[in-house]
Structure 1
Amino acid sequence: MGRIKKKGTSGAAKNYITRTRAVKKLQISLPDFRRLCIFKGIYPREPRNKRKVAKGSTSATTFYYTRDIQYLLHEPLLNKFREHKAVAKKIARALGRGETGDAARLEKTHIPKIKLDHIIKERYPTFVDALRDLDDALSMLFLFAELPSTPHVPAKTIALCQRLVHEFQHYVIVSHSLKKSFLSIKGIYYQATIQGQDILWLVPYRFVQRTGGDIDFRIMGTFVEFYTTLLGFVNFRLYTSLGLVYPPKFDAKSDEQGGELGAFKLEGKAISGEDTHMMNGDEQPVIASAEAQAEADKVAALTGPDDQEEGSAAAPAEEDENTDAIDTFEATAQDADVLPQPQASNSELGSLFTPFTFFLSRETPRAPLEFILKAFGCRRVGWDSTLGDGAFTTDESDPTITHQIVDRPALPTDSLPQVPDVPETENGGAAIPKAQWPRSTMPGRTYVQPQWVWDSINQGKLLRPDLYAPGAELPPHLSPWVKPKKGQYDPNLPLEAQEPEGEAEAFEDEEEESEDEAPATASKDEKDLSHLDREGSVEAGEGMDVGGSEDDSDEEDESEAADEDWDGIESEAESDISEGEAARRQHQRELEAEATGKTVESEAPTTRSKNAEIRKKVEKKRRAEQEEKERQKMMLSQKKRKLLDRIEHGTNKRDKEAEALRKKKRRIEKAKAAANAL
């Protein structure tokens, strides 16, 4: 006879462990257990069969993998947590005795400091692994960098998050790693490509944040503690890869005055070995790391003198050819596959705003605009002095400014408040013009709205500034990560280019029918109201039940239904008049007019008749295609037919959504045309 197995000692019950048992096994408190699991990346697991794991119990229980808990038994942080608990007991005892000095001394000297360096190395063996997990870290740190200081979120934590995210932004600016950005309801999305990894993070808008009481800041603070350590390691590796000194110099006075990015001063060593400082408006040098320079020296040593001569001889020929333009691939046939077009290089995108000098008006968001403009090559960004320190210029009338970003329309001069006259300064006898938007503009300067910056970087080219002029209706701002598919609605294309044949005519007929039905509906409502008025004043013989009235009403309903059916048949018969019948009737009218000596003009086809003919042809074509599809489906097996029905259901649903959006846009365009006509 075999040995009897005890229940819950093997299988799924052995692979999982409850949270209560895990806490007892590790001999720590529940908050410390949660904190340790966040640091180590261990999360609860949901077993397939809870009854087997919980030994028949169905109560709500949190489970973990047993091997994960076994892994935590050897974690050095366990000793730190226990030491912290012991010191906390001593501090509480000292405070109970009234020995505040001893309590302060214990807190200052005996509280153990927790370092997460070894956990970062364990969880991310390679640097690419850390970059792949950087999305959530950046989103969380940018969020805490915008939060106000509260007892749950100390100012020290907020300052640390701000410093780390600004250092990361400086790397993105210097390396031109930023690729796309999008303005959404949640905030501003950014995507950067660093060492082949696409990193996407979200930055909230700078509104007044009101934190509710249902937020567990202890859990979020644990994540922030881990993410700050992670981003510190990543920033150090990124800066050293470019030959920059980390951490960069920080000007606390400039930061207090709102300098933000301008409060950091990057330092690095160029290839020549001289120290290089980069600030707002300075030229950015070519920086290379020691490893990259060593590899370049090896390649140069391997190249022989003959190769160098051949390269020098071929250089003029290559310079004559213009290789700046990007080749475009065109399809050989109309129905051929769309060839993927080459994209602009990083150097071209990074120098998109290099030749320009921007000035940000007071109403524009300075922080995201400064970051994006500098990330795409602009080295001269100015703004009003009220927006903070670190601007290239605070003078709005600076003649070197080529573009000014404004976010309010131009108003009539009479509606603006009066300002005191300021004497204009003269330079060599000529008065310097003062530009104060929206009272006056500078000649030769381009005024655009902030969306122009985002749309230009997403499309990789400078868009027409007149479409983004102050007060102009802006084009749709679409997500750069969502590409329109065939059959879907595309706001950038005109309706004529994406609507199927006959849809515009059907829309016009629907609008005319709705206009015609409006007075009829009103008259019907009047009849109903008159009937209600008559019911209010009951005369003799009214409001009484008469025998056989129900039968009479039924007969009347049947007769009305028959009349409606007959009217429908007549309307269909009239609408289905063939072209030959219409020609015969026209010929009959001409003969009658000739007999009576009158002249008759041929009836010009109305718009409704034209639309009816077009819709009739489209419907006939659609019916033929549907019949052909049904014939083809008959040859398929039942399994493939069901799969095809599911595909067609999704396609029809997508087409209906696109049709509804096109109708909405057509109504908006019609309303705009009517408003412009007035």
Structure 2
Amino acid sequence: MTGGQEGVAVEYVTRARAIKKLQLSLSDFRRLCILKGIYPRDPKHKNKIGSTATNKKTVYLLKDIQFLSHEPLLQKFRELKSFHRRIRKYMGKGEWAKIKSLEKNTKPVIKLDHLVRERYPSFVDALRDLDDPLSMLALFATLPRTNVDSHQADTSLKCAKLLREFESYVVATDSLKKAFISIKGIYYQAEILGQQVTWVVPHEFTTPVPVDVDFKVMLTFLEFYMTLMRFVNYRLFTRLGWEYPSQFIEEGQEVVFSSSFPEISLPDEIFPDGDHRLLSGKKIFVSREVPRKALCFVLQCLGATASFSQEDGTCPIQEDDPSLTHQIVDRPFLSKMFVEREYLQPQWVFDSLNTASLVDMTDYRLGATLPPHLSPFTSTEEDDLTDESEDETAEAVTADAPIVTKPAKKKKMQKVQKELAVSMLSKKRQKLYQKMQHSRQKRLDEKNNLKSKREAAATKVESQ
């Protein structure tokens, strides 16, 4: 910094200067910023920072860069850079045995445990921030696992295992409260220790890996999220008295991606008066055309024993077993049906979970036209489109009070779209728009003021 600078000039630093100060490559700098939760800033007077060309550059707070300079990971990054330099040297010489020995014995290992403790001082803080980690774990767990990239397959299995462990806790503690099937995937919401955790799981389709996605950035986030989930799962498992790492969820693909959960011995404090969940004691068979993982997860959260047909032809409970009470089917009809068994469409399970009661089966039988699958995540707060409660709504209708109509809803939607459109404008255009609105409001206030003066004068004349 040159003498005499003050204000914005000393509070911010460009990315190039930050990289030079930390002596890192651009990729390592980006990785470190993601892991530490530091992001670029957009100051009002960017042209006062450095040269006049800084307007087009990325800038950071100087305090953030000084904070990064004390990070222990810096030394690990430098050691890893030196290690890769040695590997490239031996690759040029063709000494493959030496390379294998180096990778086995001297490769630096980067651990992120201290970052989790630093960013989440308490366990509740970690639970509040689980939405993105769970969604990303579910995404990478469903990516295609190829034999070509063994690292990608191993990462996918680890993500599936961590997600499976979390789901096992949700099943055991009756924590799942909402579920909704959308185009993007299946949304779940669980309540854990008083905190609402919402995540989305992609549909079980074979999706090609997109080529326009920067997986290096996503893998950096994933690396931190996996470390965070290990801490969270450990704390959740120890609360139930379970061992961790999990003994019933192994690394093998057959176990991790299976839709059946192990027999879980529930602590007495979870269900002191017995298990009275909606489907407790029910045995339900899930047909092969139904999304198996999602249905089995929700069914077991409701207390049911779920069975399904596996690829090898085996299943925990055979389809013709007389002890089965329900069967989830997504076909218009079946060639063989049992009289003592209820045949229902998958939406019945989700609607029962969202309403916290067993909904009427009549509308969900085979071939029936299903009722609308409404999202349980809509806001119930008071606004222009909703009343405070059902009782107030009934009183308003009884008293012939005005109720909300479609034009009001359309007006509300137009207002939201207008605010969104304004937020997408550039800063220069936003300022111009604000000036226009200010002038328009000023003219309107003057008009209303003159109108009120005329009315006051007219009233005075009439009184005389």
| TM tier relative to shorter chain | 0.7 to 0.9
SS of equivalent to 2:340: coil
Alpha carbons of 1:162 and 1:189: their partners in 2 closer, same or farther (altered >3 Å)? same
Residue 231 (structure 2) aligns with: 233
Residue 383 (structure 1) aligns with: 308
Residue 474 (structure 1) aligns with: 370
Residue 180 (structure 1) aligns with: 178
Deviations 1:281-320 (A, max 9, x none): xxx442569xxxxxxxxxxxxxxxxxxxxxxxxxxxxxxx
Measure the CA separation in 2 of the matches of 1:36 and 1:58. 23
Residue 562 (structure 1) aligns with: none
Deviations 1:357-398 (A, max 9, x none): 1011111111011111111211x2111233886x430x2121
Is 1:357 the counterpart of 2:357 in the alignment? Answer: no
SS of equivalent to 1:385: coil
Check the 8 A contact 1:166/1:260 in 2, yes or no: no
Matched ranges for 1:226-625 at <5 A: 226-250=224-248, 255-256=253-254, 260-262=258-260, 265=262, 278=263, 284-287=265-268, 351-378=277-304, 380-386=305-311, 391-393=315-317, 395-410=318-333, 438-483=334-379, 488=385
* 238-247 vs 251-260, greater mean Cα deviation: 251-260
Check the 8 A contact 2:47/2:55 in 1, yes or no: no
Aligned counterpart for 1:222 among listed residues 211, 220, 223: 220
Counterpart AA for 2:174: H
Check the 8 A contact 1:47/1:53 in 2, yes or no: no
Check the 8 A contact 1:449/1:470 in 2, yes or no: yes
Counterpart AA for 2:328: I
Give the CA RMSD over aligned residues: 3.3
Measure the CA separation in 2 of the matches of 1:227 and 1:656. 41
Counterpart AA for 2:409: R
Check the 8 A contact 1:243/1:288 in 2, yes or no: no
Counterpart AA for 1:404: Q
Alpha carbons of 1:351 and 1:387: their partners in 2 closer, same or farther (altered >3 Å)? farther
Check the 8 A contact 2:187/2:200 in 1, yes or no: yes
Check the 8 A contact 2:286/2:328 in 1, yes or no: yes
Measure the CA separation in 2 of the matches of 1:388 and 1:11. 71
Measure the CA separation in 2 of the matches of 1:41 and 1:254. 33
SS of equivalent to 1:171: helix
Deviations 1:334-357 (A, max 9, x none): xxxxxxxxxxx9989961110311
TM-score by length of structure 1 reads 0.55
Residue 460 (structure 2) aligns with: none
Shift of 1:10: 1.6
Residue 207 (structure 1) aligns with: 205
Counterpart AA for 1:447: Y
Alpha carbons of 1:285 and 1:138: their partners in 2 closer, same or farther (altered >3 Å)? closer
SS of equivalent to 2:362: helix
Check the 8 A contact 1:257/1:388 in 2, yes or no: no
TM-score by length of structure 2 reads 0.79
Alpha carbons of 1:402 and 1:112: their partners in 2 closer, same or farther (altered >3 Å)? same
Matched ranges for 1:18-97 at <5 A: 18-57=14-53, 59-97=55-93
Measure the CA separation in 2 of the matches of 1:346 and 1:22. 58
SS of equivalent to 2:204: coil
Alpha carbons of 1:88 and 1:58: their partners in 2 closer, same or farther (altered >3 Å)? closer
Shift of 1:470: 1.1
Q: How many residues align?
A: 402
Aligned counterpart for 1:102 among listed residues 91, 98, 107: 98
Shift of 1:479: 0.8
Measure the CA separation in 2 of the matches of 1:139 and 1:186. 11
Check the 8 A contact 1:180/1:192 in 2, yes or no: yes
Shift of 1:165: 0.4
Is 1:123 the counterpart of 2:46 in the alignment? Answer: no
Deviations 1:103-140 (A, max 9, x none): 22222211100111111111111101111111100000
Measure the CA separation in 1 of the matches of 2:370 and 2:66. 59
SS of equivalent to 2:53: coil
Measure the CA separation in 1 of the matches of 2:316 and 2:93. 59
Alpha carbons of 1:381 and 1:351: their partners in 2 closer, same or farther (altered >3 Å)? same
Check the 8 A contact 2:8/2:49 in 1, yes or no: yes
Measure the CA separation in 1 of the matches of 2:289 and 2:362. 20
Check the 8 A contact 2:161/2:251 in 1, yes or no: no
Gaps of 5+ in 1: 266-277, 290-344, 411-437, 502-617, 623-647, 659-678
Aligned counterpart for 1:134 among listed residues 109, 130, 133: 130
Shift of 1:439: 0.5
SS of equivalent to 2:18: helix
Deviations 1:240-290 (A, max 9, x none): 01111112214659842786254x65xxxxxxxxxxxx35xxxx442569x
Shift of 1:14: 1.0
Shift of 1:201: 0.4
Measure the CA separation in 2 of the matches of 1:231 and 1:347. 32
Measure the CA separation in 1 of the matches of 2:350 and 2:176. 12
Is 1:654 the counterpart of 2:409 in the alignment? Answer: yes
Measure the CA separation in 2 of the matches of 1:368 and 1:58. 50
Counterpart AA for 1:392: P
Measure the CA separation in 2 of the matches of 1:55 and 1:125. 40
Measure the CA separation in 2 of the matches of 1:346 and 1:482. 33
Higher relative contact order (CA 8 A, sep 6+): 2
Alpha carbons of 1:288 and 1:356: their partners in 2 closer, same or farther (altered >3 Å)? closer
Measure the CA separation in 2 of the matches of 1:288 and 1:454. 27
Alpha carbons of 1:253 and 1:6: their partners in 2 closer, same or farther (altered >3 Å)? closer
Gaps of 5+ in 2: 414-464
Aligned counterpart for 1:164 among listed residues 162, 165, 180: 162
Residue 145 (structure 2) aligns with: 149
Counterpart AA for 1:480: P
Percent sequence identity over matched residues? 46
Alpha carbons of 1:350 and 1:212: their partners in 2 closer, same or farther (altered >3 Å)? farther
Counterpart AA for 1:286: P
Residue 16 (structure 1) aligns with: 12
